[in-house]
Structure 1
Amino acid sequence: MLLLITFALTFALIVGAFPKPQQAQAGGTPKCRFSRTFSQAQILKDPSSFISDVLYWEGNFHQNNVSYNSGNGMSYDGTLLDETTGLATAKHPFSAASKEALQIMLYAHAIAGSPQAARFLSPNNPGAAPAIAINIMTLKLQTYLQFNKTYPGFGGFLPWYTGDSQNIVPTWDWVNRVPALDNGELIWAVYSAIQAMSSNKNYQTLAQGWQAWLDYTKLTAAKVSSMQEMGQFVPLQILQNQSFPVNDPRQSYKCEGSGTLNDPYEGELFTWWLYFFGGLSQKDKNLLWEVKRPQLVSVEDNMGGVGPITVQKGYWFSAHEQ
């Protein structure tokens, strides 16, 4: 389900082929099993109607106790569906920074006035979409701040958490562990949401609150991700105690495993955060890219009579991660 939503939002929000909000309303509720009503040729010629239907039905995922908790604004990993009826069954009460990123990116588009995001969030009343997003972002900020207060050792970042209660807690297998990878997505999603909120005078206070949270991650990112020799940062850290503040003399961070932040998606997003805002010396900034440079290998791709297309050779990642 999350993959479907990611595809729908990426395709619709980035491509931007979408009817006006009033046009979307005029068509009423689209047929549930709508995909068979479109041919591939129709979609290639004009994808707007198909995208409209995708966003309408995928938008049903955005509801309390299915994709998020309306009490604290936090996302859920997802909810399983009955393959025959399409009805929700078992919910995953846990989630992570990567899922938070998807949710917040959607809200950033809604706050900025995207008709595509409005179709997803509030198809029967597109004008209500920004307020829906703002209300959830307000709750979410309160939850983040309470988490930081309770578990300061994470430095503002999120581990995998359980979100069924008012206050989120690390899942049993993420106690005293924090992933830089997923948080690479989250920090830039929050960055984009702040940009959207800052453009509206009614959202300045909330934008400032989120900015304060984001600024704190600038102070902790390098320590939480622990730079190793030759400009390499680690994707997963073990904390001495998640209840100790980052700079507490009793606190310490050590790498779990031998992995490094060298993928072109989550890892690179976190690397850019360190580069721009992590307080690194120019020497260390340069080292970040010297380590990655040998991995940038081009490949000429030919498929189905199309090509050659120059792409980056992947090994530990898939094309969609770029």
Structure 2
Amino acid sequence: MSCISLQSTLVLTLVLLCGLSTSTWTDTIYRGTCRFSHKYSNDQLLNNATARKEYVQSVLHYEGNFHSHMNGINVFSGMTIDGCKLDPVTGNTTSPRRYTAASKESLHLSMLALALNGPTAEGYDPLDYFHYPINLTATERKLIHTGDNRVDNVLVTAYRKMDTLERFNAQQPGYGGYVPWSGVNDNGLDNDTQTDTSVPSLDNGEMVWGIYAVAHVLKQKYPDHAQLATRYRNYFDLLANNAITVFLNRTSFYFAMSAVVGANNVSVAKNTYRSDGIYSSSGPFEGELFAVFADIFGKWENPTQRDSTWDLSLYKLNWTIPAGVITVQRGWTYSSHEAWKYIMMPYQSVPIQARILANCEKARTWFSTLSGYPGLFAASYNSTLNYVTSVGIANLSRASIDYNDFYTPYGAFPVLMANHSVGLVWYNNMLKGPAMQGPYGSTESGTNDGKAVANIMSWDTKGPSVIAMLGGIGDIVKEALVGDRKYQMFFDRINSSYTAQMPYMVGDNVPYGMPPPPAPDATAHYTLCDDYVAPPPSTGIVLRPSINLVIISVLLLLLLSYTS
């Protein structure tokens, strides 16, 4: 081979090698990598507002990749799907779970409301979550053309979701507008005509406030979409009109956590309902969201009937830790899932509730600090893909606790609501664990020893953290309640009930616990969030950038030797 031909070959090889430095996952170059947690120290997240803003923007971007077709939503029907499994090597998605529930819809609706409402006081822009493009039809483009593709994504999703809900209610009016666990397809909810089928008040009690928030923001800020605002408000009113009929147990006067519908294709007025389950939707946990909804919006026959259904039974204790004594509200398992109400309603505007939340979250952090656990605990899938509910804090719970060997990032969401910067520190500490960040954001859960993760993602473990970082929808809901002249009813009910149960508390001056080191790197990170380089279709060659640099250096030396 001549020097000229060899020189040409070397130059061509250099060009080809340089071209191998991009991945088929085109989004990993946002701020360098989707594994960004290691770039932020505890001190930065605690004390540097600029660092927090950059961090939350990155969280919103990668969590927003989940908001894409057959990953977290069905874009055609506007409804959520539960999530997907993840490839254990790359972190890419496989096996979408094509079903939804009202709890998942509550999170999606909350994100829609926050995005439509605009940037937060900290300067976080919820629209960053909705960056993934959604194609609009020609008809939709005539209606939606804001000039910001992210806003268009939010609005078209809100339209399609309401289309689905209205169509669902017309086809299966027996549910009274409430959403059962249901399959999801391109046309909407995939739910057969059935008799004696159940629908939960627990999940729907979460969803109603998301609908309420979307209706309010659309009405206040989007006059061009006033009709959509009216449709959302009408659906909310439909749920309010049917709350007592569908869920109230008129014998014992409580709201059943789940009601049995006689026939889902028969109207509410002509239907039968059994609300005799042993569990009720009441305080002090997430079931209280439905109890509050029915309390202030339900169509009561008289005030006595309304008062007779309100029930609050909570248990408290004083927990002694090295930092002091904290009065806490005991949990059922003390799973963070039990604190769902704080992201949905303005509980922190009620002073007693703000104190209860702060104390409970101090206790949550101190338990993991003192135990040496790298994260926080909540019901989720574990590394064997079993959904585990008996996870939490045994010292502070009423039920038995079987697991403390794995953590989940959304365990930090109530801490984020109580103390934003401390919550970010705990959330980030969990993301620093191996394979806890992927191209679609956070992973479901990871073991404390770093040896395994749950290769899966779901709305339940992703949505609450993002919503809490943005402050929840409580301020939006409060503004709407004030407009409806209902806020004082909410405030008085919650303030009087909880003050009576917890008249004396200690621990206001106890600091939050800080996390120990993250879970060790005992398993591999997802390659799509590292320096993985996908093979080009024509060659099948896989090279890492570090190897590329070595080869390029050698080739440059050879090239120089032939040209000198």
Normalised to the residue count of structure 2, the TM-score between the two structures is: 0.48
1:284 corresponds in structure 2 to 305
Matches within 5 A, 1:90-129: 90-114=95-119, 115-122=124-131, 127-129=148-150
2:270 counterpart of 1:253: no
Give the Cα separation in 2 of the matches to 1:279 and 1:191: 17
| Alpha-carbon distance between aligned partners in 1 of 2:323 and 2:336, rounded to the nearest angstrom | 17
Match of 2:170 in 1: 149
Q: Name the SS for the 2:263 alignment partner.
A: coil
Give me the CA root mean square deviation: 2.5
Q: Which residue of 2 aligns with 1:321?
A: 338
Distance in 1 between residues matched to 2:297 and 2:269, nearest whole Å: 18
Q: Output the CA distance in 2 between the equivalents of 1:71 and 1:176.
A: 26
> Is the contact made by 1:263 and 1:316 (CA closer than 8 Å) also made in structure 2?
no
Q: Are positions 1:164 and 2:185 aligned together?
A: yes
Cα displacement (A) at 1:211: 1.0
Give the 3 Å change call, closer, same or farther, for CA 94–84 of structure 1 in structure 2. Answer: same
Q: Which residue of 1 aligns with 2:233?
A: 211
Cα 1:95–1:66 change in 2 (3 A) is same
What is the CA distance between 1:127 and its match in structure 2?
4.0
Pick the aligned partner of 1:300 from 313, 318, 325: 318
What secondary structure, in the 3-state scheme, does the structure 1 residue paired with 2:185 have? Answer: coil
How big is the shift at 1:168? 1.1
Q: Secondary structure at the match of 1:194?
A: helix
Q: Which residue of 1 aligns with 2:327?
A: 310
The secondary structure found in structure 2 opposite 1:176 is strand
Q: Match for 1:79: what amino acid? A: C
Indicate conservation of the 8 Å contact 2:218/2:225, yes or no: yes
Question: 1:140-191: CA deviations, max 9, x gaps?
Answer: 1111011001100000000011112403123799972111110000001110
Name the counterpart of 1:262. Answer: 282
Q: Deviations over 1:234-264 (max 9, x none)?
A: 011111111110011xx21113632112343
Displacement of 1:49 after TM fit? 2.5
What is the one-letter code of the residue matched to 2:172? Y
Distance 1:171 1:93 in 2: 15
**Which structure: larger Rg?**
2
In structure 2, relative to structure 1, the CA distance for the partners of 1:243 and 1:57 (3 Å cut) is same
d(CA) in 2 for partners of 1:170 and 1:152?
Answer: 12
Judge conservation of contact 2:194–2:264 (CA < 8 Å) in 1: no
Give 1:191's aligned residue: 212
Q: Greater CA deviation, 56-65 or 152-161? A: 56-65
Tell me, in whole angstroms, the C-alpha distance in 2 between the residues paired with 1:83 and 1:160: 28
Distance 1:52 1:272 in 2: 33
Give the Cα separation in 1 of the matches to 2:40 and 2:180.
41
Q: Alignment identity in percent? A: 28
Q: Does 1:42 align with 2:44?
A: yes
Aligned residue in 1 for 2:552:
none
| 3-state SS, counterpart of residue 168 of structure 1 | strand
Say whether 1:221 aligns with 2:226.
no
Instruction: Structure 2: state its 5+ residue gaps.
Output: 1-28, 134-145, 340-564
CA contact (8 A) 1:234 1:260 kept: yes
Quote how far apart the aligned CAs of 1:97 are. 0.5
Change (3 A) 1:284 1:306: farther
Name the CA distance, whole Å, in 1 between partners of 2:187 and 2:94. Answer: 22
Q: Distance in 2 between matches of 1:123 and 1:164?
A: 20
Q: Distance in 2 between matches of 1:38 and 1:70?
A: 34
- Aligned amino acid, residue 35 of structure 2: R
CA shift for structure 1 position 74 = 0.7
**Partner residue, 2:346:** none
For the residues of structure 2 that align with 1:52 and 1:126, how far apart are their CA atoms?
21
Paired residue for 2:75? 70
Q: Which has the higher contact order (CA 8 A, sep 6+)?
A: 2
- Secondary structure of the structure 1 residue equivalent to 2:59: helix
Which residue of 76, 81, 85 maps to 2:86?
Answer: 81
Residue 230 of structure 1, CA deviation = 4.3
Q: Kindly tell me: are residues 35 and 260 of structure 1, through their superposed partners in 2, closer, same or farther at Cα, counting changes over 3 Å?
A: same
**Displacement of 1:106 after TM fit?**
0.2
Q: Which residue in the other structure is 2:458 paired with? A: none
Q: Quote the offset at 1:218 in angstroms.
A: 1.3
Q: Gapped runs of 5+ residues in structure 1?
A: 1-26
- Alpha-carbon separation, structure 2, partners of 1:107 and 1:277: 23
The 3-state SS of whatever aligns with 1:240 is strand
Shift, 1:315, TM fit: 2.1
Tell me if 1:138 matches 2:159.
yes
Alpha-carbon separation, structure 2, partners of 1:279 and 1:246: 14
The question of whether the paired residues in 1 share the 8 Å contact of 2:331 and 2:338 is answered with no
Q: Which residue of 2 aligns with 1:12?
A: none
